[in-house]
Structure 1
Amino acid sequence: MNNLPPIPTIEGDLMLDVFKHHSVRDLLPEDIGDQAEAEYGDTDRVAALGEAVFTMVVTSIAFQKRPPLELNQMQAERQRWLSDDAIMNWVSLYRLRSKVSATREARGQLENPEVTRFLFNSYIGAVYHQKGIQEVYSWVSRLIEPNEEPRKLPGTAAPKPPGTQAAAPADYPMGPPPGATPPPQSVPRLAYFNQVTTQMGYSVQWAAESTGPPHMPRWTVRCIVNGTERGVGEGRSQKLAKEVAAQQAATAMGTSNVSTTHTC
């Protein structure tokens, strides 16, 4: 896997405990007392935390896929990412087992799917505990979608600096009918296009199609005004493609001096 994302680092005593097999810990009674006094308790707690966090993250990523997956598709994607095969593969690619200290008799257990899952969940829990949910979310999204941009945690978009406004759209080429007011900055261009064409009595139809795999579609949308194709847009989502098509249609209609006789 050439595009394996860098694994987040963990530090301190928590890192040592994550990579310490219980066979070694059982030989050192003082380790049990040290873990009990640690802020994270013990690795059993960390692994339980990691399991919950990982399940939430992969479920959220499956939920965010566009176009939206049907429920059964979303559940299938989720189960694929949570499977023993996936976790065994990731642990092997990151060579995490080689970092685990274990007795000679116990080293063979490290290949066990249950032990491997415990190690992976412990690492996820440690990253969450030390770095936070966004670090886990970004890493896992790149791990399961290596060809996509790292996803951001929903609801964490950076707020705009005080006093700034969104850039005003360029002058709309298509002249609005008498009485129509220019769109305020808060109104999307597509909404204004629909408003103007409705006021002018135009018939607008949209033809959309997608190509490519379901998890990475490419949308093409055609804007048809009074039976004539006036704009074509492409994008990673149907909405973006529709916006481009609307802009092209508005430009074409404005430069061709569309009249109120509706002869497009």
Structure 2
Amino acid sequence: MPGTEKIQRLRTVFDHAVASLEPELRAQAFTHISWSNEQGDTGSSNERLEFLGDAVISLAVALHLYENHPQVPEGDLTRMRASLVSGTSLAAVAKAVGLGRHLKLGRGEELTGGRERPKTLAGALEAFFGAYFIRHGWDKVRALTEQLLLDTEIRAAPIDPKTMLQEIVQSRPGSKLEYVVVDVTGPDHMPEYTVACVIDGRRVSTGKGSSKKEAEEDAARNWLVRNGYSDGASYDKNHLTDDEIGRQE
């Protein structure tokens, strides 16, 4: 994990960038849809800025990789970009810079831990970059992207494969993920569980472990590996097809 000095430096950079936004634009960037729904004003949420910021970040990272890795083929560049702009990576950066303290949340979202929820943090960071682009333009937003998002030390937090797979499935409206115990073998004091990972009613992977939790993690990890995420470190939720998500074993 990064040291205190580096975290403080990144927070200072982020705080200065936040302060540079006009008050109305700044407020919208950090207004979660839960707060807007409670107020009856969905137009005030950060969802449109999140849409813009997602595109801005993706382009800035793509340009950085293209310019700094001239010998790397397209497929590898795509995976590198996916790692840098994944929900997991963005949430790690957002947490490091203390973005959660800026969020405006609905009461229910606040009570259920929304201020620390990875998906909420990642979305708000994208919205912030969208707002920063509107205020300062391309050159400055690209420079800020390099300062905040391209630090591998910040993004090095361990990743739970179940969380990663859950985020992938949730990115497809209507999809459902569940884990089903299909077998338990061995003596009572040393059982081995076999668990199936089921997406939209289709068995897509299987895992084993000495507990249900371990078997579920193994099943999720096996799906990630089989679909090209062998390092367990990244995914690009915007480039997954229905077939990739629900492909059977």
* TM-score (normalised: structure 1): 0.47
With a CA cutoff of 8 Å and minimum separation of 6, indicate the structure with the bigger relative contact order: 2
Query: When you count helix as a share of all residues, which structure comes out higher?
Result: 2
Question: Which of the two has higher C-alpha Rg?
Answer: 1
